[in-house]
Amino acid sequence: MSTAAIGFLYAGATLGAMLSGIPIAFALGFVALAFMYVFMPAASLDTVAQNVYEEMASITLLSIPLFILKGAAIGRSRAGQDLYSAMHAWMHRIPGGLGIANVFACALFAAMAGSSPATCSAIGSAGIPEMRKRGYSPGFAAGIIAAGGTLGILLPPSITMILYAVAAEQSLGRLFLAGIGPGFLLVALFAGWSVFRFRSEFAAAKAAYERTGTQHPILKEDTYSMRERFSTLPRVLPFVVLLTGVMVALYGGYATPSETAGLGGLLALALIAVIYGVWRFRDLDPILTATLRESTMLMLIIGMSLLYAYVMSYLHISQAAAQAIVEMQLSPWVLLATILSLVIALGFFLPPVSIILMTAPIILPPLKAAGFDLVWFGVVMTITMEMGLIHPPVGLNIFVIKNIAPDIPLKDIIWGTLPFVILMAVAIVLLCLMPGIALWLPDLLLPSTR
C-alpha cells in the first residue's frame, strides 16, 4: 500500500475515532496502536511504553503540572474576584470601564494561571453577574469573559507555548517573550470593542429612557472614593509581585522554565495561605485534586499525541505530507493561509494540545523552508487556536461560560463571542504585516539564541 493511501487511511481512522465520542487521548492512542499492529514490525508493540516515555522525557514538559498547580491555587481562591474588584474600582469612570476591567483582569489572571478555562471560570464567576447587574447584555458580558479567557494560552506562562516549544524545538524563553506584544495587542483590541459596544448599548438605553422614562441599569454610574480604590490593592499586589518575580527569574536567567514553574507553584500556595488562610488539608484538597486531575488528563493527551506523531513519522506520512505541500510550490503567504485554515478547521474538533502535537511534523518543515520564523509562527498559531476556543461547535470557553452562567442562552454566548473571533483575525493580519510586534522583545532580550 502506498504512503498516500496509508496517510488517508490514518486520517480517516482518526476522524472516525474522534467522532465516535472516545476521549481524545484514547482515540489517538487506539489509532496509533492499530496502525502499529498492522503496518509496523510486531516487535514495535513491545516498545510502546518505552517510545512514549522517551518522547515525554523532556525537562520542559515537567513545568506543565507545576504551572497547573499555580493556576489551581490562584483559580480556586478568591484571587480572581479580588483582582476583578480592584480593576473595576480603578476603571469605572471610563465608558465601558467595567468591560475593560474584565479584559484586564482576564489578562493578568491568565498571566498568573496559564489556563484559559481557569481564567474564564475565576473572572467570569464574578464579572458576568456584575456586568449583567449593571445593564450589559448577556451576550456582551459572556463574550468579554470568553475572549479574555483565551489570553491564557498566549500570555506566559502558557502551557500551549511549552508544548509548541517542544514540538518545534524552539527556545521557550523566546516564545514566552514573543507572546507578550501580541497579548497586549489583543487586550487593546478587546478593550476597544468593549468601549464601542458599551457606547452602543448606552445610547440605546438613553434613547429608551428619554422615550419611555424607564431607567436602564446601564445608565447608573458607580462612584468610588480614593480610599475605597486603595483599599482594593493589598490583596492584589502580592499576586502582581508573584507574576513579576516569576518573569524576572525566568527571563533574568536565574531559573529554568521548570524551576520557575516550581517556584511559582510554591509561592502561589504560600500567598493563598497567608492572604486567604488556605493552608489546612481540607482547603488544599480541592486544589491538589484539581491539579492532579488536569495534569493527568493533559499528560495522557500529550503522551498519546506523541505516540500518534511517532507512528505517523515512522510510516513516512508526515514526511510525505510535508513534501507534497512543498511540491505544490505555493507562495509563502498562500502556504501560511492554507496552514492556518487547516488549524482553524481542526479547532472545531480538537484542543490546542492535540493540534500542535499532531500537525507540527507536517506543517513546520514547509514553513521553515518558506522562510518563516518558527517563533513568530508559534504566536500566530496560538492566536489561531485561541479562535478555536470561542467558536462553535466545540469552543471550550463557550461551554465554561455556559456552566458558570447557565441562564444565558447558548446562541447569545456564541453571538457575543463572534466579534472577538473577528478581532483575533485582525490581530493575525497585523502580525503578518508587522512581525516585529511579536519578535521585538525576544530579539531585544534574547538576541543570541535566535
Average pLDDT over residues 303-321: 82
> What is the overall mean pLDDT for the chain?
83
2: in domain: no
Looking up cell 489556563, which residue turns up? 115
421: in domain: yes
Nearest to 146 by CA among 388, 438, 431, 407: 388
Nearest to 405 by CA among 151, 146, 191: 146
342: in domain: yes
Average pLDDT over residues 34-38: 90
Predicted model pTM: 0.80
Average pLDDT over residues 73-87: 75
18: in domain: no
Peptide bond between residue 332 and the one before it cis (omega within 30 degrees of 0): no
Q: Of the segments 257-271, 331-345, 392-406, which one has the largest average pLDDT value?
A: 331-345
In this predicted structure, what is the pLDDT of residue 424?
Answer: 94
What confidence tier does 378 reach under pLDDT thresholds 50, 70, 90?
very high
1: in domain: no
Count: domains in the chain: 1
Size (the chain), residues: 450
19: in domain: no
For 87-97, the pLDDT digits (tens) are 778 877 777 78
CA dihedral 19, 22, 26, 27 (to 10 degrees): -10
Q: pLDDT higher for 43 or 175?
A: 175
In this predicted structure, what is the pLDDT of residue 182?
Answer: 94
In this predicted structure, what is the pLDDT of residue 296?
Answer: 84
Average pLDDT over residues 12-35: 84
Of the chain, the percentage scoring pLDDT greater than 70 comes to 97
In this predicted structure, what is the pLDDT of residue 190?
Answer: 94
What confidence tier does 448 reach under pLDDT thresholds 50, 70, 90?
low
* Least confident among 40-44, 410-414, 417-421: 40-44
450 pLDDT higher than 50: no
In this predicted structure, what is the pLDDT of residue 42?
Answer: 77
For 237-246, the pLDDT digits (tens) are 887 787 788 7
14: in domain: no
Average pLDDT over residues 45-74: 77
230: in domain: yes
423 pLDDT higher than 80: yes
Average pLDDT over residues 286-313: 83
Find the domain containing 260 and state its range: 26-32+45-445
Nearest to 380 by CA among 345, 425, 349, 419: 425
Helix (H, G, I), strand (E, B) or coil at 435: coil
For 332-357, the pLDDT digits (tens) are 999 999 888 888 877 776 778 778 88
For 174-232, the pLDDT digits (tens) are 998 899 999 999 999 999 999 999 888 888 888 887 787 777 777 777 777 788 888 88
84 pLDDT higher than 80: no
* Least confident among 102-111, 359-368, 410-419: 102-111
Nearest to 132 by CA among 103, 175, 98, 90: 98
Average pLDDT over residues 52-60: 74
Q: Which three cell numbers stand for residue 368?
A: 521553515
Q: Phi-psi category of 82—alpha, beta or left, where left has phi over 0 and alpha has psi -120 to 50?
A: alpha
